[in-house]
Structure 1
Amino acid sequence: MKKISIVVPVYNEVNTVRGVLERLRDIPLNGVSRQIIVVNDASSDGTDGVISKFLADNPELDCVYETHDKNKGKGAALHTGIASATGDFLIVQDADLEYDPEEINILLKPMLKGVADVVYGSRFVGGNPHRMLFFWHSRGNKMLTFLSNMFTNLNLTDMETCYKLFRTPLIQSLKLKERRFGFEPEVTAKISRIPNVRIYEVGISYYGRTYAEGKKINWKDGFRAIYCILKYNLWSK
């Protein structure tokens, strides 16, 4: 049986992390077993206690719990999670319920058919539910995707999506450096240069949050993304 490693980077998500983990535990995965890798990036709001209680309540789960002694950023949490993965496939699942874990099956479909090495879940294609929130965030995401596509020669519609599914040996072969939200343009640039890599994109839902509800990314991360697109496509090949 094939196995998927689901990496969950967590920082101060005390209100949502248990719900995410319960859904990852319960969703049917088309005959694929699961490994859940939770990386707590030095949360200070009680998140650790919630995760520890979930693990104690579910000892039968194939679950790895990694912790950082200080906050290092989402990218750093992903580096830790990727290194711990033992599955055939690997996907990132944020701990904030903006993405529906049941839709992991949508990304798995082309992978299990043997036609894909990487699958991106796009919030901007298909007829899936999409919460209406920030106009300029949407414009910014599309601009960053356009800029990234210019250098990678891909025709992605959502480079900044959280839902990226990889063959595990492929993502583990990359030397990733970005410690915050620069992970998305960096991994896209480096994946695009792998010879004969097969990249697919599928439509997914998006249940976005407001800042009052806990959203963390901000305009500074947008400028960092532009820098990373240029850095990893032009200066650091």
Structure 2
Amino acid sequence: MLGSSCRTSHFKGAIPQTVVIEFPPSAMGKTPKYSVLLPTYNERQNLPIIVWLLVKAFTEANLDYEIIVIDDASPDGTLEIAKQLQSAYGENHIVLRPRAGKLGLGTAYVHGIQHSTGDYIFIMDADMSHHPKFIQEFVRLQQQNNYDVVTGTRYSHGGGVYGWDLRRKLTSRVANYLADILLNPGVSDLTGSFRLYKKSVLAHLISVTKSKGYVFQMEMMVRARQFNYSIGEVPITFVDRVFGESKLGADEIVGYLKGLWALFTDI
């Protein structure tokens, strides 16, 4: 049976341009470190921009960070670009953990966690659909409430979607509506993939998640509620990718519906 102690909180208003977040030292005498997991496949054009934006966001907020690039043997030379970025920003901030081929999103996160040194972990898309300017709000909300998970939402006050045609918007809305009816997840955007986790929580959720593809992110939230992890929400604006092609097609939609039903019968 699903638990019911999940708490949800919202931030309203404009995102501040530059905010330095002050943290009290931990018992070990250090401030928290944040790891960003960036699975990539054919993101040669997007990767330099998203990394620059991430570095800017973490630096302005005075946060300790690392960006872990998990490239699945992209034929467009994404890994070569990642190596150049590592030379520019340093090995302590840009960590390269390539794999031999496309092995799935879940295993990419497991791979990233195994090589991460952060106390908290961000997951997000590398195609610039998720803007790093919201990172400060994720961190602030998590620290204020000690949430286990903070997830970005496109469907609460202050959030939104840009660059999608009507068909894509309807697909997303219907997907979230069906999931809400069947699973009662307690979050407004179940299919989003811009989130902040406590490292141990993410590792646990991945270990119990069975789905693959687009259902993977949805099941992570359902499992989080099942295990009574606390969840906060931050309104975000989602922008369709500028470079490259969307990986969402008819096969993915059918797979989502099958996965949703399987998750409903399992939970």
Scaled by the length of structure 2, what TM-score is found?
0.79
1:13 deviation in Å? 0.8
Superposition map of 1:68-83 within 5 A:
68-83=99-114
1:187 aligns with 2:220: yes
Judge conservation of contact 1:14–1:50 (CA < 8 Å) in 2.
yes
Q: Which residue of 2 aligns with 1:100?
A: 131
1:208 deviation in Å? 0.8
Judge conservation of contact 1:145–1:156 (CA < 8 Å) in 2.
no
1:91 to 111, 122, 126: 122
Q: Which residue of 2 aligns with 1:209?
A: 241
1:172 deviation in Å? 0.6
1:70 deviation in Å? 1.5
1:169 deviation in Å? 0.6
- 1:67 is paired with a residue whose SS is coil
Q: Which residue of 2 aligns with 1:35?
A: 66
C-alpha distance in 2 between matches for 1:80 and 1:71: 13
Letter in 2 for 1:188: M
Q: Which residue of 2 aligns with 1:130?
A: 161
Judge conservation of contact 1:9–1:40 (CA < 8 Å) in 2.
yes
Aligned residues: 234
Q: Which residue of 2 aligns with 1:2?
A: 32
CA RMSD of aligned residues (A): 2.2
CA offset digits 1:118-176 (Å, max 9, x no partner):
11111222335631422222222222222222344233221111212111111111314
Rg bigger for which structure? 2
1:214 deviation in Å? 2.0
Residues 130/147 of structure 1: CA separation in 2 closer, same or farther (3 Å cut): closer
Q: Which residue of 1 aligns with 2:17?
A: none
C-alpha distance in 2 between matches for 1:120 and 1:178: 19
C-alpha distance in 2 between matches for 1:121 and 1:213: 23
Letter in 2 for 1:74: L
Q: Which residue of 2 aligns with 1:119?
A: 150
**Relative CO higher for 1 or 2, CA cutoff 8 Å, sep ≥ 6?**
2
Letter in 1 for 2:36: I
Contiguous gaps of at least 5 residues in structure 1? none
Judge conservation of contact 2:35–2:118 (CA < 8 Å) in 1.
yes
Q: Which residue of 1 aligns with 2:141?
A: 110
Judge conservation of contact 1:122–1:204 (CA < 8 Å) in 2.
yes
1:206 deviation in Å? 1.5
Letter in 2 for 1:107: F
1:8 deviation in Å? 0.5
Q: Which residue of 1 aligns with 2:232?
A: 200
C-alpha distance in 2 between matches for 1:119 and 1:134: 28
Percent identical across equivalent pairs? 22
Moved more, 25-34 or 153-162: 25-34
Q: Which residue of 1 aligns with 2:191?
A: 160
Letter in 1 for 2:202: I
1:17 aligns with 2:50: no
- 1:52 is paired with a residue whose SS is helix
CA offset digits 1:171-230 (Å, max 9, x no partner):
1113144443332122122112113x21121211111137x8422122221222222223
Contiguous gaps of at least 5 residues in structure 2? 1-30
Q: List 4+ stretches of structure 1 deviating above 4 A.
A: none
1:68 deviation in Å? 1.4
Judge conservation of contact 1:119–1:202 (CA < 8 Å) in 2.
yes
CA offset digits 1:79-115 (Å, max 9, x no partner):
3223333322111121111111111112222201134
